[in-house]
């Protein structure tokens, strides 16, 4: 009988799932048995995202996704979220810390932040709730205070009419 390494007697072929291999069955007193290629493939994980999440629910490397992401439930985490292109949200945006965006921020719901919302062009929302909108007497005082065109501020009530009421939301000109 030829050696298995003799490729003239035993030519190399590309295996298919139904091909047979000879092996040892350790659960049956080390008996020699046939196995299919498919049965061996079935022993390896498919390495799907679900299997990774089931195994530990954690990714320790970057994840690059292409296509749409649909989410039912909450999105939470620490660190930065970087997004190129449009971000469309239905509902509320709440943040602790700054929300920074180059370009427009458009929301159908409420944008809530305890510090700053910074947009390179426009912020558009049905309602804006901010506890730390800086207060100045008028546009000139806001400029002296360091604000630039497009920044939000509120009146502090120390200017003459009609800006003598505190809390009037203004945009630095």
Q: Please write the tens of the pLDDT for every residue from 86-139.
A: 666 666 666 666 666 666 666 666 666 665 666 555 555 545 555 567 889 999
pTM, 2 dp: 0.32
Domain that holds residue 162: 135-171
Please tell me the total count of domains within the chain: 3
CA 88 to centroid of chain Cα atoms? 13
Mean pLDDT: which of 69-73, 109-113, 147-151 is highest?
147-151
Sign of CA pseudo-dihedral 25, 28, 32, 37: negative
Whether 11 maps to a domain, the answer reads no
Q: Do residues 69 and 123 share a domain?
A: yes
- pLDDT exceeds 70 at position 78: yes
Distances in Å between the Cα of 128 and the Cα atoms of 19, 54, 100, 119, 133 are 66, 39, 15, 14, 10
**Per the domain annotation, does 4 fall within a domain?**
no
Q: Could you tell me if 28 and 52 lie in one domain?
A: yes
Does residue 25 sit within a domain? yes
| Rg, Å, the chain Cα set | 32
The 3 state secondary structure assigned to the chain is: CCCCCCCCCCCCCCCCCCCEEEEEECCCCCEEEEEEHHHHHCCCCCCCHHHHHHHHCCCCCCCCCCCCCCCCCCCCCCCCCCCCCCCCCCCCEEECCCEEECCCEECCCEEEECCCEEECCCEECCEEEECCCCEECCHHHHHHCCCCCCCEEEECCCCCCCCCCCCCEEECC
Nearest Cα neighbor of 118 from 70, 38, 172 is: 172
Q: Is residue 6 part of a domain?
A: no
Let me know whether 59 and 71 are in one domain.
Answer: no
Q: Residues 165, 117: one domain?
A: no
At CA 151, angle to CA 125 and CA 164, rounded to 5?
Answer: 95
The answer to whether position 34 is within a domain reads: yes
Query: Is the same domain home to 70 and 118?
Result: yes
């Amino acid at each position: 009988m030829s050696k298995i390494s003799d490729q003239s007697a035993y030519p190399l072929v590309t295996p298919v799932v139904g091909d047979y291999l000879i092996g040892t069955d350790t659960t049956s007193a080390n008996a020699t048995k046939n196995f299919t290629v498919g049965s061996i493939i079935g022993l390896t994980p498919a390495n799907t995202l679900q299997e990774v999440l089931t195994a530990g629910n954690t990714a320790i490397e970057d994840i690059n996704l292409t296509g749409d992401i649909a989410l039912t439930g909450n999105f939470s985490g620490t660190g930065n979220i970087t997004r190129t292109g449009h971000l469309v949200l239905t509902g509320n945006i709440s943040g602790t810390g700054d929300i920074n965006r180059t370009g427009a921020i458009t929301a159908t719901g409420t944008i809530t932040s305890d510090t700053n919302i910074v947009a390179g062009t426009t912020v558009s929302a049905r309602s804006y709730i901010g506890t730390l909108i800086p207060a100045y007497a008028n546009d000139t005082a806001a400029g002296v205070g360091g604000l630039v065109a497009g920044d939000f501020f509120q009146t502090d009530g120390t200017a003459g009419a009609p800006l003598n009421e505190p809390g009037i939301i203004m945009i630095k000109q």
